[in-house]
Amino acid sequence: MNIPFDTSNIQLYDIVLMIMGTLLFIACLIIFVIQSIQTKVSKTLIAFFALSIIMVGFPAITKIQVGEQFTLEKQLRKTAKIIAAGNTKPATIKEFRTTLASMEKSGSPIEDPELLTSIARAQYEIGEVDMAKTYTQQALEINSSYLPALQLQNITVQHDRKSDSLATSLERAAAPDASAADSANVKAIISMINKESVKLSNPELLKRAAAFESETGNREEASLLLKRSKTLESIER
């Protein structure tokens, strides 16, 4: 497997450590040759040999870890983008979650607001709104003016408001004393949800909205709401 090395991330202390380690190794090697000729090699010299190898190798190990993180980030960007585009196939979601879990276990925080927002968009698409809010907030903590994150934050706020409004209006429209205005209010809320590209995350609420639209003659909208409900129910939690 090819592991990419980002030389731009090499710090000054890495360079100093490698130079000092190399000089120590050379010095130990010279002393080793001299002592070998004298048929006596001290144990202390062996310890310094080991130290020099560690000093030279430590920065390289660090870069390998950076490379592994780079690979995970690349895969995470890819799967998050696919899911955000509407591809909610189980295999894709599983790969997305597995890669995200590996990133979190690595102990290296994600510091790219673009990647954090992509993760949030994917989670929003599969109905994990609370997690979407969390990653959106992390993106904004890094860059408070990052527009895509601000837009997604607004969508999640609208999601909560519209979900509550729709649930309340559906209850009102189903009441014995419901009026035509109550039904009109439900339709207005559903229309606004579609217009603002808000994707509801509650399968049961979607089913209720679909049943309402079907009963009032809008079978096309009912079909779309039911499809979204079934998609969310098919996703393993």
The series of mean pLDDT values per 10 residues for the chain, 237 residues long, is 46 66 73 65 65 61 55 89 90 93 83 95 95 96 96 94 95 93 94 86 95 93 92 85
pTM: 0.70
Answer whether residue 191 is part of any domain.
yes
Give the structural domain span for 204. Answer: 160-234
pLDDT at 65: 47
Calpha distance 235→39 (Å, rounded): 71
DSSP string for 49-76: HHHHHHHHHHHHHHHHHHHHHHHHHHHH
Calpha distance 59→57 (Å, rounded): 6
Answer whether residue 187 is part of any domain.
yes
- How many structural domains are present in the chain? 1
Answer whether residue 116 is part of any domain.
no
Answer whether residue 228 is part of any domain.
yes
Answer whether residue 207 is part of any domain.
yes
Answer whether residue 212 is part of any domain.
yes
Q: What are the Cα distances from residue 167, in Å, to 155, 160, 185, 189?
A: 18, 11, 12, 10
Do residues 148 and 136 touch, judged by C-beta distance below 8 A?
no
Answer whether residue 178 is part of any domain.
yes
pLDDT at 8: 47
Answer whether residue 205 is part of any domain.
yes
